[in-house]
Amino acid sequence: MTRPAATLLKLDAAAAHRDCFVRLQNVDKVYAGRGGGLKAVDNVSLDLHDGEFLAIVGPSGCGKSTLMMMVAGLSPVSAGEITIRAQNVTGPYTDVGVVFQRDALLEWRTVLDNVLLQIDVRRLRRADYEKAAYTLLERVGLAGFEKSYPWELSGGMRQRVSLCRALIHNPSLLLMDEPFGALDALTREQMNLDLQKIWIDTRKTMLFITHSIWEAIFLADHVIVMTPRPGRIAAVIKIDLPRPRRLAVRETAQFGHYAAMVREQFQAFGLLKES
């Protein structure tokens, strides 16, 4: 039995990226606007493998959220190509949990109903997920607030609800845009520990955007540093720290070394001036 050459070639290509979940190739994003438009993302290529935790850090306005929106299939690329499991992304990718930079809670739904929105829209059976929703909410310290409305919560509590909403349906890909930006330092550290635990337990593929160098290094397998707008990839730093990582890991020399590498990138852009 012989295969047509074209099919063989395709199979080979597929085999080469077997464990490549999300792949960006020369992706550009230009927002239409006055004066010929604004380039937000410039020629970004990256691979996100199955079960990998990838963190992106970069200065404000460098195109991180834009990049995430394109991966989610919610915003079209201007040039280049994004594939998920070798399929071209042309519309919303749905086997995903998204945490947006703004919490995007629906004001007319209770905390529990906001989490279960995920279930309602997907036409799954509510009864099958209600218990999981309670468990998730308790895990992020929101037990007792299930019947509260979003306006009765603090900014950090709201963001934790949207985290639960992204996890409830057990998606294989998680996209998180500064999910802990609104939390106080203490809660943030707790959430980092919790997220690490969830990730170790489930090994979900993760694209995690943050402003915090510390948070990126603590959580990720790879940290991508982006340049100021238009966002390009300045460096990819592989983080070789054993898991589970403890908070004290940041006092180690190795952690300090990674932090210095990221900081040097920022300083090369003219950010973080020390005098």
Ligand X SMILES: Nc1ncnc2c1ncn2[C@@H]1O[C@H](COP(=O)(O)OP(=O)(O)OP(=O)(O)O)[C@@H](O)[C@H]1O
Q: Is 165 in the site for ligand X (CB under 6 A)?
A: no
Question: What's the closest the beta carbon of residue 263 comes to another protein, in angstroms?
Answer: 31
Out of Mg ion, ligand X, another protein, none, what residue 78 binds, judged by CB under 5 to 8 A for its kind, is none
> Alpha-carbon distance 90 to 73, whole Å?
6
**Total of chain residues touching ligand X, rule CB under 6 A:** 14
- Contacting ligand X (CB under 6 A), which of 22, 229, 245, 266? 229
Task: Give the C-alpha separation, 169 to 100, whole Å.
Answer: 17
Contact of 18 with 51, CB cutoff 8 Å: no
Of the residues 94, 135, 170, 254, which one makes contact with another protein according to CB under 8 A: 94
Q: Tell me, what DSSP letter sits at residue 252?
A: S
Of 66 and 187, CB closest to ligand X: 66
Q: Residue 22: which H helix or E strand, with range?
A: strand 20-31
* CB of 177 vs Mg ion, minimal distance in Å: 6
Residue 152 makes CB contacts below 8 A (sequence gap 6+) with 145
∠ CA 101-106-111, rounded to 5°: 95
Within 74-113, the residues that bind ligand X by CB under 6 A are 101
Contact residues toward another protein (CB under 8 A) are 69, 72-74, 92-94, 96, 98, 100-102, 104, 106-108, 117-118, 120-122, 143-145, 147-149, 151-152
